[in-house]
Amino acid sequence: MSPSIYLDHHATTPVDPRVLEAMLPYFTEEFGNASSRTHAYGLRAAAALEDARERIAAAIGAADPGEIVFTSGTTESDNLALQGVARAGRARRSHLVTTRIEHHAVLDPCRALEAEGFSVSYLSVDAQGTLDPADVAAALSERTALVSVAAANGEVGGVQPLTEIAALCRERGVLLHSDAAQAIGRIDFDVRAAGVDLCAFCAHKIYGPKGVGALYVRSGRPRVRIAPLLHGGGQERGLRSGTLPVPLIVGFARALEICRDELASESARLRELRERLWTQLQAVGGAHRNGPAAPRLPGNLNVSFEGIDAVAVLTELEGIALSTGSACASGRSEPSHVLAALGVPPALARGAIRFGIGRGNTPEEIDTAAQRIAEAVRAHRRQRRGGAQAGVGGAI
């Protein structure tokens, strides 16, 4: 049965029809390779590519379009930032700083760098998932090359104090990288105002196509040096070789512009839907909201229900698309590392459901979902109590 109510917008989003319309010509009539500069097809593709680069740069507040490096997605952008900066400066600086609640696209490259001899400090957060800038300052040393802190967390929705962290990094001559895949297009985010040196984001989280992302690399002084991960045709100033997917990049730019233009009204609408959902879920009893009340991503709600196994509940809940955490880690059997870092007890972590409310959701869908989830949670609790009682009776 296909899900009829989609509440997993932190995992991915549907392509907006306006985005698809912008992309279609570049799959058919305008199919040229942007690196082919000897004929009109390639020149038109190159022009569309650079126009999209300019629009994306403007949408995130970049000073220059050349600061945008296209990749296959946020995971590649994160890897290029962390491994690229670390390897380019290993002779002078071999230490990185990050947090325990980062996406695996940051944590796994950090572990790979540790295997190469780099050292990494993994900072704790408070019970709301917020990083204390003072902890960043204490972790910095003369050997620190890079700090990596996500702008917003895709599981519990918390928004980090990047501006304060950036100021500390600048004082010590340390670069700041941020995975902003969950922030850009969902909250007001400007790379220069935030003070980041590198910023990773992608299209499919903002109603654009899968398979395309970008890494913002600040220009100017001090220079951000990056060793490329891919070698080949020398595209993207040698930082990321490979034929550029012009249709996807055109869609990326259009998706980001739509999010920017509709940000204020859509954020208000999503916050209203989120609170409507939370109010109804509290009536179930034994419901705990994970993460901060504010600042928080407008469409995010993460709730732990006492006495349930969330995976079992969602497996039986037909017609509603939900998740228990990051889609990129959904194959892992252990409880969320994010909730563990927040100090959520394992039993409650196993009962956590993440709600990602998005552009297509309506109040009626929220009400239906709340009712169905309440019924499923209550039924699961009854089953578990019945099983426990049967076990006790059998033992006697």
- Whether 202 is a known active-site residue: answer no
Tell me what pLDDT residue 2 has: 56
Give me the catalytic one of 110, 169, 259, 328: 328
Query: What is the rounded (10 degree) CA torsion for 236, 239, 242, 247?
Result: -40
Name the phi and psi angles at 191, rounded to 5: -65, -35
Contact 45, 26 (CB under 8 A): yes
User: Nearest 5°: CA angle at 89, between 180 and 202?
Assistant: 20
pLDDT band at 395 (very low <50, low <70, confident <90, very high): very low
pLDDT single digits (tens) 19-76: 999 999 999 999 999 999 999 999 999 999 999 999 999 999 999 999 999 999 999 9
Instruction: Order across the sheet with 144-148: list the strands.
Output: 68-71, 213-217, 198-202, 175-179, 144-148, 95-99, 119-123
pLDDT higher for 119 or 394? 119
pLDDT single digits (tens) 321-342: 999 975 555 445 577 999 999 9
Rounded to whole angstroms, the Cα distance separating 33 from 44 reads: 9
Sign of CA dihedral 251, 257, 263, 266: negative
Domains of the chain: 5-11+263-383 (3.90.1150.10), 17-260 (3.40.640.10)
Segment 79-99 mean pLDDT: 97
Model confidence at 133: pLDDT above 90 = yes
* C-beta neighbour count of 103 within 10 angstroms: 23
Segment 279-300 mean pLDDT: 97
Q: Which of 201, 152, 194, 195 is CA-nearest to residue 174?
A: 195
Model confidence at 235: pLDDT above 60 = yes
* C-beta neighbour count of 121 within 10 angstroms: 18
Place of tokens 């006492």: 306
Tell me the pTM: 0.94
Rounded to whole angstroms, the Cα distance separating 358 from 376 reads: 23
pLDDT band at 196 (very low <50, low <70, confident <90, very high): very high
- The mean pLDDT value of the chain amounts to 94
